[in-house]
Amino acid sequence: MAGSDSVDWTGDVLITTPRLLLRTFRLDDLPAYAALNADPEVTQYLGGALSRTESDGIAAWAQQLCRAEGIGLLAVERRADGAFLGMCGLHHLCWYPDDIELGFRLGREHWGHGYATEAAGAWLAHGFTTVGLPRVISVTDVLNARSIAVMRRLGMVHDHEADLEEGVDTFRAVVHAITIEQWRDRRRE
């Protein structure tokens, strides 16, 4: 695995929610993460299935981003039984270099339980209170109703649509956003 020698795979917990631990990856997460990233239903709106090497590379990049900036697309673990559910977090997105994006990806068997909303909400709080972000965006394919629903539950609002290139393909994306002021207003409700 490229670059794995310089990566810290300790599984350090950054955020705790009532049901989840949001943490860095451990080496024993990588097979489950690769299986999730190879699932065509999970990756339907994410550019398609990834190889094990690509999946491990994303995990290594996330670890390094976390070490450097306190953000990253990191592991989501269920507290009740230690199950690896997927990943969630904040990161830099090539299409919008002036923004930080909130991303999430869970295994199909964990859909419909509110885990994505719980994890993503905790990452928003981290981004606004710990990192000091003024705004967070989230980008998905316009057909990805599940992800759009999570964004809306978080209080993110439609910002715009765009045709984005990913490799040789172009897809129609929808961008949702939330500012720190909007986030604070929602917390007061």
CA distance 44 to 72: 22
Give the containing element (helix H, strand E) for 33: helix 30-38
CA distance 12 to 25: 8
Say which DSSP state 141 is in: E
pLDDT digit string, tens, across residues 160-170? 999 999 878 89
pLDDT digit string, tens, across residues 126-185? 999 999 999 999 999 999 999 999 999 999 999 999 999 987 889 999 999 999 999 999
Give the containing element (helix H, strand E) for 96: strand 96-106
- Angle at the Cα of 124 (from 27 to 24), degrees rounded to 5? 10
pLDDT digit string, tens, across residues 31-84? 999 999 999 999 998 888 999 999 999 999 999 999 999 999 999 999 999 999
* Per-residue model confidence (pLDDT) at position 1: 44
Closest to 25 in 3D by CA, of 80, 95, 89 = 89
* Per-residue model confidence (pLDDT) at position 5: 54
Task: Centre a 10 Å sphere on the Cβ of residue 163 and count the other Cβ atoms it contains.
Answer: 8
For 4-188, which CATH superfamily applies?
A: Gcn5-related N-acetyltransferase (GNAT) (3.40.630.30)
